[in-house]
A and B are shown apart, each in its own frame.
Chain A
Amino acid sequence: MGYSDKDIEEGELPFTVSDQSDILDIVSLLINGLQLIVIAVGAISLVVGSIGIMNIMLVTVTERTKEIGTLKALGFTQNNILYLFLTESVFISLIGGIIGVMVGILMAYSATSYMNIDISIPFYAVVGGFVISVLIGIISGSYPAKRAAEMDPVEALRRE
């Protein structure tokens, strides 16, 4: 039709071309957007859950003040105690993570079979679930564990 390439770039054509890959692009853009929103909203409950872990670890540390004093008196270093409480918090979080991944897969399976869609569980989603739960355990356990590690053994033992 005698249009120069410059005109094509500027879209000055009496026709538009749209092929299937354009449509697929738009669809996958929409789906990616939706997936992002869904994951973000889902992640909020993880934040709430990690606050819960931190809270209960703080309670545990307070409850075991006397025990921490005894451990320190017996020669446990600050690092040992830090490690002890971090392990505990990672343990709680990882157990939650394993059960969470299983429940999630089960739910996704029943939802997709209900909607007649083939299920696709990416490997990284499962591994990601475990890794994230370990990270949450470490992050939310670090403050309570630090509090436990820095306790003065004399003060801790004196407390009733």
Chain B
Amino acid sequence: MIRPDISAKMSVQSLKSSKLRSALTSLGIIIGIAAVVITFSFGASYNSYFETQVVGMGNNFIVIIATKENVFRNSHLQIIESTPGISGVSPALTVNGELEFMGKTKSVQINGVSSEMMEVANLEMLEGKFIADSDKYSAVLSKQVARDNMKTEIKPRNFVNLIIPDESDSGRKKSYRFKVKGIQGLEEEGIVVGHNMNTVYVPIDVLRELSGNESFNMFFAMADSQDEISNVSKEVEKRLGRSIGIPERDLEKNITSFNIINQADVMSIVSSLSSVLQTFLVGLGSISLLVGSVGIMNIMLVTVTERTSEIGLMKAIGYTKSDILFIFLTESAILSVSGGIVGTIIGLIFAYFGMTLIGMGLNITLFTVSIGIIVSFLIGIIAGVYPAYRAAQMDPVVSLRKE
């Protein structure tokens, strides 16, 4: 068996003898590997970006939404609170109302919540504080309500009028004066979960009284840990179902009067979507890799034909078939791997600039870096096998006779 270093030296000599041809051949692999690295790191960064977005949506939240009216009462709140694994829960009642400030009115969604809502839904405060359980006519406004579309920005300690329809009085709209306690939102909003809705938070008991609505239409609950979230959410569903009188058989068929969504579900939907996108992009990128490997095979066939008499000579002085196979495989692998290394570097540079342009962080893993080099090595071997085999099978007498 020929020594690998000698074989490598011979390959480099051969590649150097036609520099332009070698450069163009590896350029094909460079572009292909760069395309794969770019699409791959784009997908990976995209994936982790959306995952942080979903994590930012709340602390292991479980949302229970009533799909019919008058489903949830105080007793259900206690059931959820007493379910093992639940560390906090806020009931919620949502009413569509209006907000009036300095003579301007806009439609808002008024959410009656308890103080625990802030932790469960991971709400960030821009100014002021979130409502406490002892508060009465206090309101927390979302950034959108406070800052956009209004002539003057609403500040904490301002007074606003909330117009709330009263259901116990056949839906007649009545206006109440609330003191703004805080502004909720982030300076920079995300794509998936922009809290950019026209939301106003008020204490739940006040809203129940004013709107004449005795029930809740949502619960925001929080599980102790991320691993338990699915189990806890199932347990809550079972207990609520039992209390409302829905048999387990119907729960499985989703014939219920409530829906339950948890963070783990949302996470898995988001990540499966982005992994489909990633696979698609990488698949497209790898077509150019395929084209590049056809180029390597083509040029290796030319090389073998050109060096027919050299191969004949080598065989005549005692090189075995496997020696010759090895020499040509080495040449093709060197060609491809050098393209792979350059391609990975170029791809990472491009991915870095692209990501900075879009404003997502680049997520370079060891996997991204190593995959380009491993794949290019494999391509070198696969594309080189047939030409190398052809060289190894040559009849020394015939090849020496050829001019």
Binding site for B on A (CB under 8 A): 11-15, 37-38, 41-42, 44-45, 47-49, 51-52, 54-56, 58-59
Restricting to B68-114, which residues have a CB under 8 Å from any CB of A? 98, 104-107
Q: How far is the CB of B32 from chain A (nearest CB, A)?
A: 6
Which listed residue, B104, B149, B290, touches A45 by the CB 8 Å rule? B290
Identify 6 residue pairs between A and B in the complex whose beta-carbon atoms are under 8 Å apart, listed by A's number.
A48-B291, A52-B292, A55-B295, A55-B299, A58-B24, A59-B299
Binding site for A on B (CB under 8 A): 20-21, 24-25, 27-28, 31-32, 35, 39, 98, 104-107, 149-151, 281, 284-285, 287-288, 290-292, 294-295, 298-299, 302
Chain A residues lying within 8 Å of B28, measured Cβ to Cβ, are: 48, 51-52
Contact flag A55-B107 (CB < 8 Å), given A41-B39, A48-B292:
no
The answer to whether B24 and A11 have CB atoms under 8 Å apart is no
The answer to whether B287 and A42 have CB atoms under 8 Å apart is yes
Which listed residue, B105, B284, B290, touches A41 by the CB 8 Å rule? B284
Chain B residues lying within 8 Å of A14, measured Cβ to Cβ, are: 98, 105-107
Task: Name the residue on B nearest A37 (C-beta).
Answer: B281
A42–B31 alpha-carbon span in the complex (Å): 12
A60–B258 alpha-carbon span in the complex (Å): 73
The answer to whether A44 and B149 have CB atoms under 8 Å apart is no
Chain B residues lying within 8 Å of A15, measured Cβ to Cβ, are: 107
Chain A residues lying within 8 Å of B151, measured Cβ to Cβ, are: 12
Contact flag A48-B31 (CB < 8 Å), given A14-B105, A54-B24:
yes
A52–B25 alpha-carbon span in the complex (Å): 7
Chain A residues lying within 8 Å of B281, measured Cβ to Cβ, are: 37, 41
The answer to whether A56 and B302 have CB atoms under 8 Å apart is yes
A12–B106 alpha-carbon span in the complex (Å): 9
A52–B287 alpha-carbon span in the complex (Å): 14
Q: How far is the CB of A63 from chain B (nearest CB, A)?
A: 8
The answer to whether B292 and A42 have CB atoms under 8 Å apart is no
Which of B20, B25, B291, B299 gathers most chain A CB within 10 Å?
B291
The answer to whether B35 and A55 have CB atoms under 8 Å apart is no
The answer to whether A48 and B285 have CB atoms under 8 Å apart is no
The answer to whether A55 and B39 have CB atoms under 8 Å apart is no
Q: How far is the CB of A26 from chain B (nearest CB, A)?
A: 14
Chain A residues lying within 8 Å of B107, measured Cβ to Cβ, are: 14-15
Contact flag A59-B21 (CB < 8 Å), given A11-B149, A52-B298:
yes
Chain B residues lying within 8 Å of A48, measured Cβ to Cβ, are: 28, 31-32, 288, 291-292, 295
Task: Name the residue on B nearest A160 (C-beta).
Answer: B403
A47–B35 alpha-carbon span in the complex (Å): 12
A55–B25 alpha-carbon span in the complex (Å): 7
Q: How far is the CB of A51 from chain B (nearest CB, A)?
A: 5
Which listed residue, A49, A55, A58, touches B291 by the CB 8 Å rule? A49
Q: How far is the CB of A9 from chain B (nearest CB, A)?
A: 13
Which listed residue, A38, A47, A58, touches B31 by the CB 8 Å rule? A47
Q: How far is the CB of A96 from chain B (nearest CB, A)?
A: 10
Chain B residues lying within 8 Å of A11, measured Cβ to Cβ, are: 149
A26–B400 alpha-carbon span in the complex (Å): 68
Task: Name the residue on A nearest B303 (C-beta).
Answer: A59
Contact flag A12-B149 (CB < 8 Å), given A41-B284, A59-B302:
yes
